[in-house]
Amino acid sequence: MTEHTEKDFDTADMTLKGLHGGVLFINGNEVSTATDDRLLKLPEDVSIIAYPQEYKSWDTPGPNGVEVYNVFTNAKQINPIVAFFDTLWSQRSYPELIYSLYLETPVENLKLWDQALTRAKLTATAGNDAHANIGVSLKDSSGKTLLGIQLDPYEVSFRLVRLHVFLEETKPLDTTNLLEAVRAGHCFIGFDFLGDSSGFSFEAENPKERKIQGDEISLQTESRLRVRTPVASRVVLLKDGAVLLEESGVTEKDFAISERGVYRVEVYLPQLGNRLWIISNPIYVR
């Protein structure tokens, strides 16, 4: 979780830390640099580029990741009047599913990320940008709410997109291990309001080794990439930002590779209007 910085106090320091009710809280700040670039600063010296379409310092080393998808950025494209009544209509039953009408593939952000991957490793992350500040309310003179409706409660916002992180079974769930895995790119983005993306995997292997997302692997004879999806999907394999292969109706697929490059996968759901469902992190074939 990241908070906006304040002039007189550290908002991150006031946020929950550690395990609470079985949930690990890691908190940081959203900061602006001298060049007005925005970064999400987390413990363990982890920094993630926010709003990549506005970022100007791509050639400057330092950041560990880039937020390729942001709910707020996507939502700015929506007609607010239409969205208000759509959300109001869906509020009682499946409030998060109305967002499927508006979900857009972040084409420009993915392009910027692919270009940056030719120079350095960068983990792709996604942000819900949840503020719980959209709605209508009637308050008395003391500020007490008498009547109102909240259209973006946290319990809805946090269900829209998730970062699934792979941890070694022998390592405990703590701040150091979790952020180490994120920095290494051992994670993928899932738009889980469309369906639970747990179980997705993207791996590479050759006769000597097997690697997961975020890792490097040497190109050898019989080098292969393997994709597994929880349900039949359209799988798109990209190399250095360009579509290399794609196939529909896939739950498991092997791809033989004969060239070095940066490989990643996008998964779409034809049964749900061909919506983007999963964005993998890359495997670097050297």
* Domains and their CATH numbers in the chain: 33-285 (2.60.40.10)
Q: Please tell me the predicted confidence (pLDDT) of residue 138.
A: 66
Q: Please tell me the predicted confidence (pLDDT) of residue 9.
A: 81
CA–CA distances in Å: residue 63 to residues 124, 129, 179 = 11, 19, 13
Pick out the chain residues at pLDDT < 70. Answer: 78, 82-83, 85-87, 89-91, 133-138, 146-151
Q: Please tell me the predicted confidence (pLDDT) of residue 141.
A: 76
What are the CB-based long-range contacts (under 8 Å, 24+) for 26-30?
A: 26/1, 26/175, 26/178, 26/179, 27/1, 27/2, 27/3, 28/1, 28/2, 28/3, 29/2, 29/3, 29/4, 29/5, 30/2, 30/3, 30/4, 30/5
* Contact (CB, 8 A) for 29 and 47: no
Q: Please tell me the predicted confidence (pLDDT) of residue 147.
A: 65
One-letter identity of residue 28: G
Q: What is the pTM of this model?
A: 0.89
CA–CA separation, 23 and 150 (whole Å): 25
Q: Please tell me the predicted confidence (pLDDT) of residue 146.
A: 65
Q: Please tell me the predicted confidence (pLDDT) of residue 83.
A: 67
Nearest to residue 238, comparing CAs of 230, 229, 228, 227? 227
CA–CA distances in Å: residue 258 to residues 12, 56, 63, 273, 286 = 46, 34, 30, 33, 11
Q: Given the structure tokens 């690990």, which residue do they identify?
A: 24
